[in-house]
Structure 1
């Protein structure tokens, strides 16, 4: 099980990847959406905002926040790190139930290209 700090570091790497992405990925990242990532094994949710190709204002809250984000991910801390590092295929993990994603269909299709 990864730590909260390791998950925050992975989200920092995701933010860096978005900031330096090629045009195709950058287009997918140009959403303006609230984003939450619940690490089920840690009981922690990372909340932030995806805006202009950057992941901003990331903070940690205990459990699941009352206000639902426009894009919500649920996965284990180890899967979060593997996903950001490119060792876990998003589509396969989602199809296998390792990742739960709550978002509009359009956002789901865009999110697939980010990981």
Structure 2
């Protein structure tokens, strides 16, 4: 089981990767609040997806988030590191993503 600090760092690593991709592929018109719930640790983080970037990552849940990702700590880290395929993880319910169907399509463009 990964720690809350490792999960926080994984989200910051994801933010860095999205930032690098946003610079090379152009602007993606997308602005949504995001909550990431780490089920086995009972903790959560939240931030904002803006123009293909993940910004403002902070501790705590955002119950009003437009996009909510729930996963165990090890699955979250594997997902961010690319060791876990997001489509398979969602299909097997290792990772749950709650979002508007149109937002899910835009999220695929980010990954």
User: TM-score scaled by structure 1?
Assistant: 0.86
Q: Deviations over 1:7-51 (max 9, x none)?
A: 111001110111111417x63xx4200000000001011111111
The root-mean-square deviation of aligned C-alpha atoms, in Å, is 1.6
Q: Deviations over 1:43-92 (max 9, x none)?
A: 0111111112221111112xx54x32100000001111000100000000
Name structure 2 gaps, 5 residues minimum.
none
1:107 equivalent to 2:103? Answer yes
Residue of 74, 81, 91 corresponding to 1:78: 74
The question of whether the paired residues in 1 share the 8 Å contact of 2:14 and 2:80 is answered with yes
The number of residues matched between the two structures is 109
Question: Counterpart of 1:53?
Answer: 52
Name structure 1 gaps, 5 residues minimum.
none
Q: Give me the whole-angstrom Cα distance separating, in 2, the residues matched to 1:107 and 1:11.
A: 19
